[in-house]
């Protein structure tokens, strides 16, 4: 089995002392590195002006290799281009994008730095798997340094239609650079279709099955690989976590009230203000529920140096205050709003305790909270998932959840009421349908199918043979 080199902006270097807080990307990368010799390369999370050599942490057959960023790099690459240009545009928010060519320069420079630092760790027979929007041009940089290895890319966030992608200044240097990978994976078929249309506009020639294209003499495979979770492990974690002090304390504090739960990073793509307004509408339209439910919104802060994130913080605080002020009573607070991050086990307990899970982003690549919420449920008495039609997860969980348009507060209010009133038999059958799917499509299968496709990429026949084959097939 070849060695696997994984590259992502953040690296979850194992910390035996720290809590297990790994997010979706870390769980995915760990699945890919399972049972394989490998390297995980990326940013250390530290800012330093010194030209320190890469730091290497060895854990059995895996090496974690990280580099620091200078404050200019951090500002231009991470805060600037990645999170003020690519993040909003890829989440369909062209209105929030703040582009300057200085920041694009910083983004390209850091990608080149990553390639320089990584270069000496790469062996000719390694497979390389690059993750997410921070590193779109990395394959181009590695190829320029003579690495002919199979290189795959997975985009964890959405990919909008070319109408929106073309608003990205100098898009050929970023999105266009994806054509230097052997394989490009997206979360959903919808994302893959959007990217295919973008490359068609750039003159790419797609094979009839639409998964391979040729451009400037390079051949690229483009497919959807919906990211997943370790379903059965997570279900076990949730069962065990219910016995923790944390779980008991929260359960006692509810005082018999039903729990409505939201868990999201503080980010404008998550639709938290819309959700709170939908919840306010619910209390307005269905007054019988007042005093009988508690809505807990767990929202760790993120990317605090980016101005749009400071704005969303203010907006959410104001809305929570308004709803609590308007509907609250001395013995009842409708919304509990918490900015702390919790361990995976604590979150699993909250999911299992909740009667309703609100996962209503305005746009989301996948949203693993939706999948974890389902996996964590008690099969005998499961809670109900209220899911945005704009989350990637809706392609897989649309039938078992209650789908909503987060822009419609009345629909959100009605969905919460329906979820709270849903009879046990219906909750069980929805849960079973979703759990079966998640158990069959778990994170191990996701990682293996991506890597199998990467291997296949290297064994495709030249295009001329494809075309001949298609010609014969068409003639019957």
Return the active site residues.
156, 364
For ligand G6P, the closer of residues 157 and 385 by Cβ is 157
CB of 8 to ligand G6P, least distance (A): 7
User: What is the contact surface with ligand G6P in residues (CB under 6 A)?
Assistant: 10, 23-25, 132, 156-157, 302-303
**Distance of CA 470 to CAs 27, 183, 240, 476, Å?**
40, 22, 54, 10
| Structure-block tokens of residue 141 | 């940089």
For ligand G6P, the closer of residues 157 and 386 by Cβ is 157
For ligand G6P, the closer of residues 128 and 384 by Cβ is 128
How far is 194 from 191, CA to CA, in rounded Å? 5
Calculate the CA dihedral of residues 20, 26, 32, 33 and round it to 10 degrees: -60
Q: Residues 6 or more apart from 245 whose CB is under 8 A from it? A: none
CB of 288 to ligand G6P, least distance (A): 38
| Structure-block tokens of residue 257 | 């009230």
**Distance of CA 316 to CAs 50, 143, 370, 426, Å?**
39, 45, 21, 33
How far is 266 from 270, CA to CA, in rounded Å? 7
For ligand G6P, the closer of residues 81 and 435 by Cβ is 81
CB of 44 to ligand G6P, least distance (A): 13
Q: Residues 6 or more apart from 347 whose CB is under 8 A from it? A: 263, 298, 372
CB of 83 to ligand G6P, least distance (A): 6
For ligand G6P, the closer of residues 26 and 242 by Cβ is 26
What does DSSP assign to residue 149? S
- Name the phi and psi angles at 179, rounded to 5: -70, 0
How far is 316 from 473, CA to CA, in rounded Å? 58
CB of 125 to ligand G6P, least distance (A): 28
For ligand G6P, the closer of residues 8 and 281 by Cβ is 8
CB of 212 to ligand G6P, least distance (A): 26
- CB-based contact 47:71 (threshold 8 Å): yes
Residue whose CB is nearest to ligand G6P in the complex, by number: 156
Extended beta strands in 62-105, E state: 62-69
């Amino acid at each position: 089995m070849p060695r696997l080199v994984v590259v992502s902006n953040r690296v979850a270097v194992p910390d035996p002392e720290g809590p297990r807080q790994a997010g979706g990307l870390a769980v995915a990368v760990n699945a890919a590195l399972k049972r394989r010799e490998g390297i995980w390369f990326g940013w250390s999370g530290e800012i330093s002006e010194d030209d320190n050599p890469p730091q290497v942490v060895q854990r059995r057959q895996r090496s974690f290799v990280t580099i620091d960023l200078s404050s200019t790099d951090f500002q231009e690459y991470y805060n600037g281009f990645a999170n003020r240009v690519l993040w909003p545009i890829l989440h369909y928010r062209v209105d929030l994008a703040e582009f300057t060519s200085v920041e694009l320069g910083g983004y390209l420079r850091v990608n080149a730095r990553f390639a320089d630092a990584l270069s000496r760790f790469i062996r000719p027979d390694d497979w390389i798997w690059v993750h997410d929007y921070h590193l779109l041009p990395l394959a181009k940089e590695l190829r320029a340094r003579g690495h002919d290895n199979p290189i795959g890319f997975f985009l964890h966030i959405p990919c909008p239609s070319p109408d929106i992608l073309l608003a990205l200044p100098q898009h050929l240097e970023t999105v266009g650079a994806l054509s230097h990978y052997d394989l490009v994976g997206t979360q959903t078929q919808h994302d893959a279709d959007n990217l295919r249309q973008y490359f068609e506009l750039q003159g790419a020639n797609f094979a009839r099955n639409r998964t391979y294209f040729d451009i400037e003499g390079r051949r690229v495979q483009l497919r959807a690989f919906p990211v997943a979770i370790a379903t059965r492990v997570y279900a076990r974690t949730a069962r065990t976590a219910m016995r923790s002090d944390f779980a008991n304390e929260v359960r006692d504090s509810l005082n018999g009230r039903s729990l409505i739960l939201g868990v999201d990073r503080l980010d404008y793509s998550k639709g938290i203000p819309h959700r709170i307004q939908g919840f306010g509408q619910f209390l307005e339209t269905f007054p019988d529920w007042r005093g009988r439910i508690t809505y807990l919104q767990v929202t760790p802060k993120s990317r605090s140096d980016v101005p749009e994130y400071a704005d969303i913080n203010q907006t959410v605080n104001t809305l929570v205050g308004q709803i609590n002020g308007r509907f609250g009573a001395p013995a009842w607070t409708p919304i509990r709003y918490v900015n702390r991050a919790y361990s995976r086990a604590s979150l699993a307990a909250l999911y299992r305790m909740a009667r309703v899970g609100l996962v209503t982003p305005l746009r989301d690549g996948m949203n693993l909270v939706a999948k974890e919420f389902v996996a964590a449920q008690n099969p005998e008495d499961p809670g109900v998932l209220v899911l945005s039609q704009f989350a990637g997860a809706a392609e897989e969980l649309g039938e078992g959840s209650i789908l909503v348009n987060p822009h419609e507060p009345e629909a959100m209010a009605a969905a919460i009421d329906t979820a709270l009133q849903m009879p046990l038999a219906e909750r069980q059958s929805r849960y079973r349908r979703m759990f079966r799917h998640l158990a069959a499509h778990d994170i191990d299968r996701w990682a293996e199918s991506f890597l199998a496709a990467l291997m296949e990429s290297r064994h495709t026949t030249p295009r001329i043979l494809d075309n001949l084959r298609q010609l014969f097939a068409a003639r019957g």
